[in-house]
Chains A and B, each alone.
Chain A
Amino acid sequence: MSKFKTLDTYNESLNGGYRLAPLNFTTLDGDDYVISNMAGEYLVVSKPNLHAFIKHKLSPAEPIYNELKSKHFLIDSDSNVAMDLMALKVRTKMSRLADFTGLHIFVVTLRCEHSCPYCQVSRQSEDRAAYDMSKETADKGLELVFKSPSPAIKIEFQGGESMLNFDIVKYIVEEAEKINVIERRDLQFVIATNLAVLTDEILEYCRDHRIHISSSLDGPKELHNKNRPRPGGDSYERTIQGIKRVRDKLGRDQVSALMTTTEASLEQPIEIINEYLKQGFDGIFLRPLSPYGFAIKTKSYKAYDVDEWLDFYFKGLEYIIELNRSGTFFVEQYAAIILNKMLTPFGTGYVDLTSPAGIGIGALVYNYNGDVYASDESRMLAEMGDKHFRLGNVHENNWEEMLTSEQLLGPLEESFAGSAPMCSDCAFEPYCGSEPVFHHATQGDYLGLKPTSSFCRRNMAIFRRLIKLMETDSEVKSIFMKWVRI
């Protein structure tokens, strides 16, 4: 018996002896295409190679042949396990679906002492206690939280300014901790706050209960205070002082910050990033405005278009890459979420970039009055009078009723990118999301018309830029590799 395979064995693929595996392709630029498989692995191929490959005319002698084979785009006689591996990778990527709803957001009050014109949650003036969550509502909300099958539960407190109703925050934390003695979930707490009303008592409580602080920092003093007006005009000072106090008391990593891009921010990407560096952060999330709440009423949302925001974003990204080249580790967090999907087998819990959509599956929101919404954006929409994504009320509906309601299942099914026109053919689909709330708000239906969708335009541009950067500069690829969670 021969120890070696015959020459004919190796010639098999030369004679068209390979099968195509499921793949999508989309233009990158010029004659280059991105192809991706079901697990999100990608490859950049030239147009002639793409055509030869799909028409079974690609020679195994071509260097691209083995790359296609190693990423499961083709199967030949010695790659029989490719589809088993592919299925495992898809299963890993989708694993969050079985352990759904890990994030539970309690809107403990709509009161706020800031009056930001871009506010997406339609805050109420500080003295209107009618917008506070009661203990009865909190109890009912907590019952629902622990109905979730997720082994990891994160309870996030939002407002308004959540610290204006800190008594209910404390109540929820302590009740959740009691329940968790039996439940034994990985339980975490986060308070979203502008830090303006932070007290030593609150800080000590957060330290004792290991509560993470998430704040807002829009950039340098002048920009931040312009974007985020409050009595005294000292939002920046209070935020910076608050960040320092949290770090001193709770630890350096216990505070994070988010920025929102306003029209005034567009000219200052470098200054905004430098502010984050100055405050000791090792990353920034460059976020556009969302079409909800006061951002619509005050026309803040329409103050710039998607191309202007992309210009801002890419200037910022370029600067961040240069920082990394010169030895300063600093992450652009939106890019990092996408790169994680591109470069690892893991999915993301980031609601905007999931399909099936993250509504309900990724997060549930318990509003101050007991109404339950499918996402933070859903309740923002509701504050504008549109309750399309209201799943029920904690006092009237149970978990099963809300999680199987047409208000949730309808948009999930209708917006699923895997069967949506254009999305189902798009090579970037594994990195993207379906965002039914955004498309409902901007286009009036859950699916949205993708050629006119600013969500599609924004994300396609970012996907292309990230891949192009990795393809043309190996140092950038090394930097990006450091941004992903392995």
Chain B
Amino acid sequence: MADSIFESGKGIQATNFVIETSIYSLEVIKKAAYCFLDQATFEFKAVGEKVECQVSFNQPLAEKEVIDFKKAFDTELLDQDLRQTVSNETESMRNAVLAYAFSRTGLQSE
């Protein structure tokens, strides 16, 4: 992940992540970003095999806070990637369980 930082007198207002799509899918990146919408807004741009992620913080942050934000974002990316692994592997089982759980309840549509 390569980064650039946009700073004003009040602190850091925005930063830029570059993420390899061979490592994390766009869906994983978007899901991770969603979790931080209380702290920042995100703008994505596909550049070849990479995604440029422009992060604008809701409030200017100190440098350490930006580092903590990045760490938390990295952890979330990894978690979302694992979730996608679980989801891909268990989707058919999840559907089977739900189908059985709702069978003969009269609630499912014909």
Chain B, interface size category, equals 20 to 34
Q: Which residue of B lies closest to A449 (CB)?
A: B37
Instruction: Kindly state the separation between the CA atoms of A21 and B96 in the bound complex, as whole angstroms.
Output: 11
Q: Which residue of B lies closest to A418 (CB)?
A: B98
Question: Are A425 and B93 in touch, CB under 8 angstroms?
Answer: no
Number of A-B contacts (CB under 8 A): 68
A contact residues around B79 at 8 Å (CB):
25, 27
B-contact bits for A10-34, CB 8 A (1 contact / 0 none): 0000000001111111010000000
Question: Are A24 and B83 in touch, CB under 8 angstroms?
Answer: yes
Question: Are B97 and A50 in touch, CB under 8 angstroms?
Answer: no
A contact residues around B101 at 8 Å (CB):
87-88, 90-91, 94
Interface of B is mostly: helix
Instruction: Kindly state the separation between the CA atoms of A38 and B100 in the bound complex, as whole angstroms.
Output: 13
Q: Which of A20, A55, A91, A425 is B90 in contact with, Cβ under 8 Å?
A: A20
**Least Cβ–Cβ distance between B85 and chain A, in angstroms:** 6
A87-B100 contact given A20-B89, A452-B38, CB 8 Å threshold: yes
A contact residues around B89 at 8 Å (CB):
19-20
Question: Are A22 and B97 in touch, CB under 8 angstroms?
Answer: yes
B-contact bits for A248-271, CB 8 A (1 contact / 0 none): 000000000000000000000000
Q: Which of A83, A422, A425 is B97 in contact with, Cβ under 8 Å?
A: A83
Question: Are B100 and A91 in touch, CB under 8 angstroms?
Answer: yes
Complex interface: stretch among B9-17, B59-67, B102-110: B102-110
Which residues of B17-68 are within 8 A (CB) of A? 31, 34-39
Does any Cβ of B come within 8 Å of A451's Cβ? yes
Question: Are A98 and B107 in touch, CB under 8 angstroms?
Answer: yes
Instruction: Kindly state the separation between the CA atoms of A88 and B34 in the bound complex, as whole angstroms.
Output: 33
Does any Cβ of A come within 8 Å of B2's Cβ? no
Does any Cβ of B come within 8 Å of A54's Cβ? yes
A contact residues around B106 at 8 Å (CB):
98
Question: Are B93 and A422 in touch, CB under 8 angstroms?
Answer: no
Does any Cβ of B come within 8 Å of A470's Cβ? no
Does any Cβ of B come within 8 Å of A51's Cβ? yes
Using CB atoms and an 8 Å cutoff, list the residues of chain A in contact with chain B. Answer: 19-25, 27, 38, 50-51, 54-55, 83-84, 86-88, 90-91, 94, 97-98, 421-422, 425, 449, 451-452
List of 6 A-B pairs having minimum Cβ-Cβ separation, nearest first: A87-B100, A451-B38, A90-B101, A22-B94, A91-B101, A22-B90
